[in-house]
Amino acid sequence: MVGCLLIRSFALACELAEHRELAGLPSAVVDGGLVEAVSPEAEAQAVRTGQTAREALGLCPTVALLEARPARYQAIWEDILRAVEKVAFTFEPSAQGLVYVGLDELLTYNRSLDATMAALLRCAPPALEPRMGAAPTRFTALLAARQAAPGDTTVVVEKELSLFLAPQPVQAMPVSAEMLRRLHILGLQTLGDLRAMPRSALAAQFGPEGALAWELAQGNDCEPLRPQPRCLRLAERLSLETPLASRPALMVAWEQTLVRVTLQRAFRGLAAKQALLRAATERERQWSRMITFKEPLADVRQMWSSLRAVLDEAQFPGPLSELVLELRGLEPAVGQQLALPSARSALRARLQEGFRQLKARYGYCPVGRVVEVEPWNRVPERRLALIDFDP
């Protein structure tokens, strides 16, 4: 059995969870002037994703347009995935608001399928109205989740598979819009209509997509779950009583957060490949950046040097009240390759060799000191040096 945890229109669900007064009213999430997600009430007024905000207002003057907050949605989705990881062994996130779970292996220690699905439903906040479906195949599990009521589950067993799939619309299949248009012209509206067609005819007409559509209509979706690799992550959260807007104060707060996460006992003997920085304002406006190090780092000074370069140029959405720093890609720390000798060291070595040759040739070496005329970090290639000889 395959389970499907579904949150419809994830971006809109996150916004409506904070704006309960908009429940049942036409609403849409707008990102960059384009509609990203719409509510059923707005969809009934011909508002569609991909339209401009002006077009949406023209079709439905009462629609509530909400500004998209991608960082906020990603943070909520990662919290849900962490909760699913504590319940399930094998799971595959497909998109924000959609994750497939292997249920058979969970039934070995849970009392029933209902208890297992209830535990998975609790991984998502109830305000997001999650739904759960279970079926022998992942495609059927997705259809079952779509038919479930908010906060409820739908189970399709093997003997009910054909009866459940027959009335499903062809628009539910993961095929191209062009194929759906041609199916509409041919009068094929449901999966039952496709199942009545010969497989060879659909494959000849639509190619590989036609063969895939026939297999889905038959309930022969045998695509296995592709679980994401699990890796150790360490995070530290810093809540600020007074929101900070000063850049120097924020830099100190970020550095303290980095130090705290590296002092965790679980980080001993490890090195991090990536660092995720997240911040939030009092009004829940989110900011996030993912930083990948050139090599796994275990030294806090080296990590802070990379993070500071990004934070110096970061444009925060306002005074920050919460900072989150997460280290990812943790692996055992190994010896790191040392840097090649710097040009400064090479020049000093050449000077010492010259002095040695003078002493060998003339019997003495009036060595004084080397005076740097230009700072080494300003003139990396052409450097001037004065040698002060004391006879």
Q: Where are the alpha helices (DSSP H) in the chain?
A: 10-18, 40-43, 53-59, 70-87, 113-121, 138-147, 161-165, 177-185, 191-195, 199-206, 208-218, 247-262, 300-313, 343-362
Rounded Cα distance, 9 and 199, in Å: 33
State the pLDDT confidence band at 32, using cuts at 50, 70 and 90.
Answer: confident
Mean pLDDT, the chain, whole residue set: 83
Average pLDDT over residues 15-31: 88
Q: How far apart are CA 98 and CA 87, in angstroms?
A: 16
pLDDT confidence of 366, banded at 50, 70, 90? low
Quote the pLDDT of residue 355.
Answer: 67
Cα gap 88→157, rounded to integer Å: 21
Q: Which residues 6+ apart lie within 8 Å of 185 measured at CB?
A: none
pLDDT value at residue 346: 66
**Block residue for tokens 């997705």:** 142
Radius of gyration of the chain (CA): 31
What CA–CA distance (Å, rounded) separates 15 from 8?
A: 12
What pLDDT does 347 receive?
64
Angle between helices 177-185 and 199-206 (to 10 degrees): 120
Question: Above 90 in pLDDT, residue 377?
Answer: no
The answer, as to whether pTM is greater than 0.75, is no
* Three-point CA angle 375, 378, 381, nearest 5°: 100
Number of Cβ within a 10 Å radius of residue 208: 9
Report the alpha-carbon distance of residue 285 to residue 150 in Å, rounded.
27
3-state secondary structure 7-51: CCCHHHHHHHHHCHHHCCCCEEEEECCEEEEECHHHHCCCCCCCC
pLDDT tens profile 60-69: 888 889 888 8
| Confidence (pLDDT) at 378 | 46
**Strand, coil or helix: what is 264?**
coil
Given a cut of 90, whether residue 99 has pLDDT beyond it is yes
Structural tokens at position 349: 């070595």
**In this predicted structure, what is the pLDDT of residue 255?**
92
DSSP state of 144: H
Query: What digits encode the pLDDT tens for the residues 109-145?
Result: 766 888 888 889 999 999 999 999 999 988 999 999 9
CA separation for the pair 210, 212 (Å, rounded)? 5
Q: What is the mean pLDDT of residues 237-247?
A: 88
- Note the pLDDT tens digit of each residue in 339-362: 555 556 666 777 677 767 766 776
For residue 233, the model assigns a pLDDT of 81
The pLDDT confidence band at residue 108, using thresholds 50, 70 and 90, is: confident
Q: Please identify which residue in the block is written with the tokens 């005329």.
A: 373
Predicted confidence at residue 261, as pLDDT, reads 92
The DSSP result for 280-332, as a single string, is EETT--EEEEEEEEEEEE--HHHHHHHHHHHHHH---SSSEEEEEEEEES-EE
- Kindly indicate the confidence band of residue 387, based on its pLDDT and cuts at 50, 70 and 90: very low
Dist. CA 383–CA 342, nearest whole Å: 13
Closest CA to 235 of 109, 108, 367, 324: 324
* Domains contained in the chain, CATH given: 2-160 (3.40.1170.60), 166-218 (1.10.150.20), 234-332 (3.30.1490.100), 343-388 (no CATH)
Distance CA 27, CA 64 (A): 4
Residue whose entry in the numeric block shows the structure tokens 């297999």: 215
Confidence of residue 386 (pLDDT cuts 50, 70, 90): very low
Q: Which two tokens stand for residue 354?
A: 């010259």
Does residue 370 register a pLDDT over 60?
Answer: no
- Over pLDDT 90: what percentage of the chain? 25
pLDDT tens digits, residue range 161-170? Answer: 888 998 999 8
pLDDT at 13: 92
